[in-house]
């Protein structure tokens, strides 16, 4: 009996390590574990660094879309990125009468593809250092790579840096960024 208990304990330990390592590959975002079997909205809702983004997605009526099959690549600005916008910008965008503008801003952070950082870096290299990324919102972002870090420049010249790459989701991937990308208005 003790031999059986010892083997059972060993099996449980192996299973725990194997299960833990499956999730260890995905980085934590906003202090929360990001699970590959959850969709973009489910994971974003758990990140304390993305409460403004989640509120904006809800106000724009994009929850159902971003919970859909995808695949999507979302460049997800942090709360700090939204706070860096001019005073009153977020409050103004969240008003119901500005839903169309808010939707445009948010969809300029979404690409209809599952693009991991290595894929983006290859496209940048293949395009001699700058790759045009067309977003769902019709914006063209300029992707560049410098010393292993990806940056995105919006149509106004604002530059966002990917701070956490390759956060796998069931319907795509999230890349956390440090600035809000804005469409040409």
Q: What is the pLDDT of residues 11-47, one digit of tens each?
A: 333 333 333 333 347 888 887 888 888 989 998 988 9
DSSP state of 49: G
Higher-scoring residue by pLDDT: 82, 31: 82
The sign of the dihedral angle between the CA atoms of 17, 22, 28, 34 is negative
CB 153 within 8 A of CB 18: no
The token duo for 152 is 């995105």
> What CA–CA distances, in Å, run from 137 to 24, 28, 42, 112, 145?
33, 28, 22, 10, 23
> What is residue 30's predicted lDDT score, i.e. its pLDDT?
83
- Smallest CA-to-CA distance from 85 within 55, 105, 104 is with 105
Sheet of 131-134: strand order equals: 110-111, 72-77, 172-177, 159-169, 149-153, 140-146, 131-134
Please report the pLDDT score of residue 41 as a whole number: 92
The confidence band for 65, taking pLDDT boundaries of 50, 70 and 90, is very high
- Give φ, ψ of 132 to 5 degrees: -80, 125
Partnered with residue 142 across adjacent β-strands are 132, 153
Question: Going from the N-terminus, what domains does the chain have, and what CATH number goes with each?
Answer: 27-177 (2.30.180.10)
Only one residue has tokens 């940056």, namely 151
pLDDT at 148: 85
């Amino acid at each position: 009996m003790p031999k059986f208990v010892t083997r059972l304990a060993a099996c449980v330990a192996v299973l725990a390590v194997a299960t833990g390592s499956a999730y260890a590959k995905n980085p934590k975002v906003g202090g929360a574990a990001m699970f590959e079997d959850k969709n973009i909205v489910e994971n974003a809702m758990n990140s304390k660094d993305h409460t403004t983004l989640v509120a904006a997605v809800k106000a724009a009526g994009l929850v159902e879309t971003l919970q859909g099959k995808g695949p999507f690549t979302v460049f997800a600005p942090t709360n700090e990125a939204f706070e860096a916008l001019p005073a009153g910008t977020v409050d103004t965008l969240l008003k119901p009468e500005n839903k169309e503008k808010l939707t445009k801003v948010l969809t300029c952070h979404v690409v209809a593809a599952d693009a991991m950082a290595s894929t983006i870096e290859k496209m940048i290299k293949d395009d001699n250092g700058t790759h045009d990324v067309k977003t769902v919102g019709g914006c063209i972002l300029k992707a560049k790579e410098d010393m292993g870090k990806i940056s995105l420049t919006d149509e106004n010249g604002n530059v966002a840096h990917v701070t956490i790459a390759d956060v796998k989701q069931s319907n795509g991937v999230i890349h956390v960024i440090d600035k809000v990308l804005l469409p040409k208005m």
